[in-house]
Structure 1
Amino acid sequence: MTDAPDIVFIITDQQRYDTIATLGASHMDTPNIDRLARTGVNFSQCHVTAPSCVPCRASLFTGYYPHTNGVLANGQPWSRTWVSDLANAGYHCVNIGKMHTIPYDAKAGFHERYVVENKDRYMEGRWFFDEWDKALASHGLKKQQREEYRKRDDYRDRLGAFTWDLAPKLQSDNFVGDTACWWLETKPVEKPLFLVVGFPGPHPPYDPTPELAQKYMDRDVPVPDVSDAELADLAGPWVEKRQHDVDVDHDSVAWKLDPTPEELHRMRAYYYANVEMIDTQVGRILDRLEARGNMDNTIVIFTSDHGDNLGDHGLVQKWAPYEEVTRVPLIISAPNRFKAGQVDALVQLFDLGPTILEWAGVTPDPTYEAISLNPALQGETFAGRDHVFCEQAGDVNMTGASFLTMVRSPTHKLVHFRNSDEGQLFDLTSAAGETKNLWDDPGAAEVKQALLQRMLEFHIESTMHTRNARRLIVSPAGAEALQ
């Protein structure tokens, strides 16, 4: 194991692809993520397997699609991961920040966990006190969250955007970054290191410190411009979700059916400011890694678990599998191992699992539905996936659909709703993109049928491939078996 690389996996929560300057977001200042992108391999078409936190992360850390591992919605139990394979191979495995296992403090294969969960943990696990709660309590404080924000006269106008008004070091992303730096500075590790740093942001509430909030408020940031025609053409489940998000203020976001341009500008500005805060912490972590003296044998991953509609399509947050939600940044930087560049083939976020295991000299379980990205990283012929898939079921925010499946090719996307004649079909190559639904367009019938057929084959292939799976994590019904 002397040549085994240190692996540092940085994952944000709810960060869109179009938030990194080097990758085309001219409205952003992200010098440290840019630093990774310039020295690393950028996967420009990485898509998540689920459009919300828990099922996506369960899929990422197990190597199976949500319908296979049984975790299809937020709040459902999971804790078994391939991290234990790294530990068995001689790695010291550490998680600092958000991992979103259920229960929150499950070992999940790690030797050490410093748990920091949602900024606005209002429902499940509400009274679980994580490291951030304890730090705030040591200062006689509690986190800014829904119960406090609701007292504001302008609560419903903020769309989840609030400045962090306590000490800057106690903001959740700064706290996670500080904790990671402290660990790297003080903990001697003789074994190869697998370190997962999970930032809670830019997941709402969008809560940057005041000076960064003002910086982006003063900028001409992109603001959604949703037409009446697009709103009239929305699928029924998303019409219902729009109203649900007005009625129920998830994550301190009280949505509006017709927010003003000023309100949308503030929401976007605060979100982007939160991304820059994270970027600063990424830079500090990279500096600490440099100081440890092993960067020549360290692989750094930067990614996110899904994006955020941020008002696009008249929607907020996630769940609806538009590109703004399903497409995430994925950068892998190890200049001594992998030549910098861009891979445009379709891949899925959970493909990181077998990729990481191979770096550690571990043979991935043959029943994994995830595939290795190492051929692409090593400059070999890499076709990627012909289609990517995304699925969700049973979440409290998705009241209008009991189960959705997205199938996306390089040119088209189809969203199927269980027990419904309604669906979505988009030509991603057209100027209209995901604003014009072709589901009932006779001219698109052939493409629609081909994608429905591919979705059927996807489920059949999944069943056949995983029928002998040895390490599936249990479904909620079997939660008592969790270890």
Structure 2
Amino acid sequence: MTDQKRPNIVFILTDQQRLDTIRALGFPHMETPVLDSLVEGGTSFRNMYVTSPSCSPSRASLFSGTYPHTNGVFRNDEPWVWSWVKLLAEAGYRCVNVGKMHTMPVEGPFGFHERHVVENKDRDHPNLPFYLDTWDKAFWTRGLRKPSRVSYRERPDYDDRLGAFVWEAPEDLHPDVFVPSLACLWLERYKGQEPFFLQIGIPGPHPPYDPTQDYLDRYEGRDDLPMPINDYDLDAEQPAAMRELRRHHQGEDHDAIVHLENPTAEQLRRQRAHYYANVSMIDTQVGRIIEALKARGVLDETIIVFTSDHGDCLNDHGHSQKWNMFEQTVHVPALVWGAGIPGGRSVEDLVALFDFGPTILEWAGIAPPAWMEARSLNPLMGLAAENGERDRVFAEHTNDAILQGTNYMTMIRKGDWKLVHFVDSAEGQLFDLAADPEERSNRWDDPACATRRQELIMDILRWRIESDRKTQGFCREIAGL
């Protein structure tokens, strides 16, 4: 940054938010005036890809600047070992987390001075560890029962809802209101004058899809909502690992979603209306956070980042939620707005979510560790002279209790081509996104694409070898050597 004063940084991370959820990014079905203002007044990254298609692996990668195969977090219950937040704290930032980070241990410090944790919306499952978060305690003090798949199962229409319900508890207890309210409370009450890093983990629009009725009214009954991409031969075009994932979802009500093989158009439209309404709720809350920064008198010296850990298929390609490499899962919105950030700038380059790590460190005047594979986004915003361009991005996933059809899945996008490799199968996925942006036609077995397929597989091999060399210092870092 050119300004000598180090900015405050507010990092808003939603959970499971698709790219097509911000009107100003080209999606007119959305009502998102606050996020639109961040797009218009800041810099938006139009090709931001996650490094893993589920919560904790994506976040551990984001907050370490390394891929899952380096930091060891492939599923939600695997321990985190290091976070660059500690570098901010050591440099004099007040580091605060409000809401979801999905760390393990759940309340581990990971560099933060304060953590006010709110975890997943729905944790009512016997396989999940017992944990009472700040949100649970708020419900208990009010003498109320927190909504979850257990309470929703009591509804006679539970099997038909695709996880879409109207929030019936007090609105201030909705997690996507409760978490921003806690953040606003912190901004009001904390009296320290040092720069701060405030990470706000908003739990939605992760399912259950549960907006309040007033926001749902904006989307119900509309025929302009985009409908799922599933009107092609799913079995013929998808490899066995993805077919198995679809079957798994049809047998388990993950996060209160009973995933149906052949939902009706009305069920699909209802699910999307609830999901998009939940995003509009979040949009309003981002406005409240901005107002709280203004009331504190620090808005002009603060940078706001808004992004998400991964997306949600919402029945695109016949899939529920994530754990796949389709665009709806791995391609997320990413906005930067505030002190010193160029306004009205749109970056089309391929970038990775964990690139926010070195970017934020540089804002704070900290040189990112040399072993980080993440690259600063500042050159792409015109804030640094170095070359920040990527010509390819990667994502990976394994060891997951839900993704059971493969032992290891890797994605590469290079230019307009995307390949998904399964380590234990001769099958795979190959898409020409220029000719087939909806990923309907799998070109993996197309003889005309054999050279392209081999080239991308070799790029994955080369990346894994170079990655291990690049991150050799990471182990020394976490060992304190």
TM-score norm. by structure 1 comes to: 0.95
- 2:175 aligned with 1:157, yes or no? no
- The one-letter amino acid of 1:363's match is A
- Indicate which of 420, 423, 434 corresponds to 1:418: 423
User: How far off is 1:429 after superposition?
Assistant: 0.6
- 2:454 aligned with 1:445, yes or no? no
Q: C-alpha offsets along residues 160-194 of structure 1, whole Å, 9 cap, x if unaligned?
A: 11111010111110101111111111211211010
Aligned to 2:62: 60
User: How far off is 1:340 after superposition?
Assistant: 3.2
- Indicate which of 374, 382, 393 corresponds to 1:388: 393
- The one-letter amino acid of 1:97's match is G
Aligned to 1:263: 267
Aligned to 1:434: 439
- The one-letter amino acid of 1:467's match is Q
Alignment of structure 1 residues 85-234 onto 2, 5 Å = 85-123=87-125, 125-220=128-223, 221-234=225-238
Separation of aligned partners in 2, 1:412 and 1:139 = 52
Question: Does structure 1 retain, via aligned residues, the 8 Å contact 2:43–2:335?
Answer: yes
- Indicate which of 402, 405, 414 corresponds to 1:400: 405
Question: Does structure 1 retain, via aligned residues, the 8 Å contact 2:232–2:440?
Answer: no
User: How far off is 1:11 after superposition?
Assistant: 0.6
User: How far off is 1:77 after superposition?
Assistant: 1.4
Aligned to 1:9: 11
- Indicate which of 44, 47, 59 corresponds to 1:45: 47
User: How far off is 1:2 after superposition?
Assistant: 7.4
Separation of aligned partners in 2, 1:213 and 1:435 = 30
User: How far off is 1:469 after superposition?
Assistant: 2.3
Separation of aligned partners in 1, 2:423 and 2:114 = 41
Separation of aligned partners in 2, 1:136 and 1:88 = 36
User: How far off is 1:320 after superposition?
Assistant: 0.6
User: How far off is 1:431 after superposition?
Assistant: 3.6
Query: What SS class does the counterpart of residue 388 from structure 1 fall into?
Result: strand
- The one-letter amino acid of 2:334's match is L
Query: What SS class does the counterpart of residue 58 from structure 2 fall into?
Result: helix
Separation of aligned partners in 2, 1:215 and 1:351 = 35
Question: Does structure 2 retain, via aligned residues, the 8 Å contact 1:132–1:172?
Answer: yes
- 2:459 aligned with 1:457, yes or no? no
The structure-2 alpha-carbon separation of the partners of 1:117 and 1:79, relative to structure 1 and needing over 3 Å to count, comes to farther
Query: What SS class does the counterpart of residue 177 from structure 1 fall into?
Result: helix
Q: CA RMSD in A?
A: 1.7
Moved more, 402-411 or 228-237: 228-237
Matched length: 475
Aligned to 1:477: none
User: How far off is 1:339 after superposition?
Assistant: 4.0
- Indicate which of 361, 366, 387 corresponds to 2:365: 361
Moved more, 176-185 or 261-270: 176-185
User: How far off is 1:376 after superposition?
Assistant: 1.2
Question: Does structure 1 retain, via aligned residues, the 8 Å contact 2:302–2:339?
Answer: no
- 2:305 aligned with 1:301, yes or no? yes
Aligned to 2:350: 346
Question: Does structure 2 retain, via aligned residues, the 8 Å contact 1:79–1:101?
Answer: no
Query: What SS class does the counterpart of residue 218 from structure 2 fall into?
Result: helix
- 2:299 aligned with 1:274, yes or no? no
User: How far off is 1:472 after superposition?
Assistant: 6.1
User: How far off is 1:225 after superposition?
Assistant: 4.2
Separation of aligned partners in 2, 1:252 and 1:128 = 19
Separation of aligned partners in 2, 1:119 and 1:404 = 27
Moved more, 463-472 or 59-68: 463-472
Question: Does structure 2 retain, via aligned residues, the 8 Å contact 1:427–1:433?
Answer: no
Separation of aligned partners in 2, 1:432 and 1:102 = 36
Question: Does structure 2 retain, via aligned residues, the 8 Å contact 1:59–1:65?
Answer: yes
Q: C-alpha offsets along residues 92-117 of structure 1, whole Å, 9 cap, x if unaligned?
A: 00000001001211111100111000
Separation of aligned partners in 1, 2:410 and 2:58 = 14
Question: Does structure 2 retain, via aligned residues, the 8 Å contact 1:231–1:314?
Answer: no
The structure-2 alpha-carbon separation of the partners of 1:335 and 1:187, relative to structure 1 and needing over 3 Å to count, comes to closer
User: How far off is 1:230 after superposition?
Assistant: 3.5
- The one-letter amino acid of 1:232's match is A
Separation of aligned partners in 2, 1:317 and 1:54 = 15
Moved more, 73-82 or 446-455: 73-82
Question: Does structure 2 retain, via aligned residues, the 8 Å contact 1:79–1:103?
Answer: no
Separation of aligned partners in 1, 2:167 and 2:265 = 23
Separation of aligned partners in 2, 1:134 and 1:439 = 50
- The one-letter amino acid of 1:98's match is K
Question: Does structure 1 retain, via aligned residues, the 8 Å contact 2:397–2:410?
Answer: yes
Separation of aligned partners in 2, 1:231 and 1:437 = 11
User: How far off is 1:440 after superposition?
Assistant: 0.6
Separation of aligned partners in 2, 1:311 and 1:384 = 33
Separation of aligned partners in 2, 1:396 and 1:406 = 19
The structure-2 alpha-carbon separation of the partners of 1:383 and 1:101, relative to structure 1 and needing over 3 Å to count, comes to closer
Separation of aligned partners in 1, 2:377 and 2:437 = 32
Q: C-alpha offsets along residues 313-343 of structure 1, whole Å, 9 cap, x if unaligned?
A: 0111001111111111111112534343011
User: How far off is 1:432 after superposition?
Assistant: 6.0
Q: C-alpha offsets along residues 331-357 of structure 1, whole Å, 9 cap, x if unaligned?
A: 111253434301100000000001101
Separation of aligned partners in 1, 2:197 and 2:312 = 28
- The one-letter amino acid of 1:375's match is P
Question: Does structure 2 retain, via aligned residues, the 8 Å contact 1:69–1:473?
Answer: no
- 2:344 aligned with 1:336, yes or no? no
Moved more, 370-379 or 355-364: 370-379
User: How far off is 1:211 after superposition?
Assistant: 2.0
Query: What SS class does the counterpart of residue 306 from structure 2 fall into?
Result: strand
Question: Does structure 1 retain, via aligned residues, the 8 Å contact 2:375–2:388?
Answer: no
Question: Does structure 2 retain, via aligned residues, the 8 Å contact 1:46–1:327?
Answer: yes
Gaps in structure 2 of 5+ consecutive residues: none
Separation of aligned partners in 2, 1:172 and 1:409 = 37
User: How far off is 1:308 after superposition?
Assistant: 0.3
- 2:474 aligned with 1:469, yes or no? yes
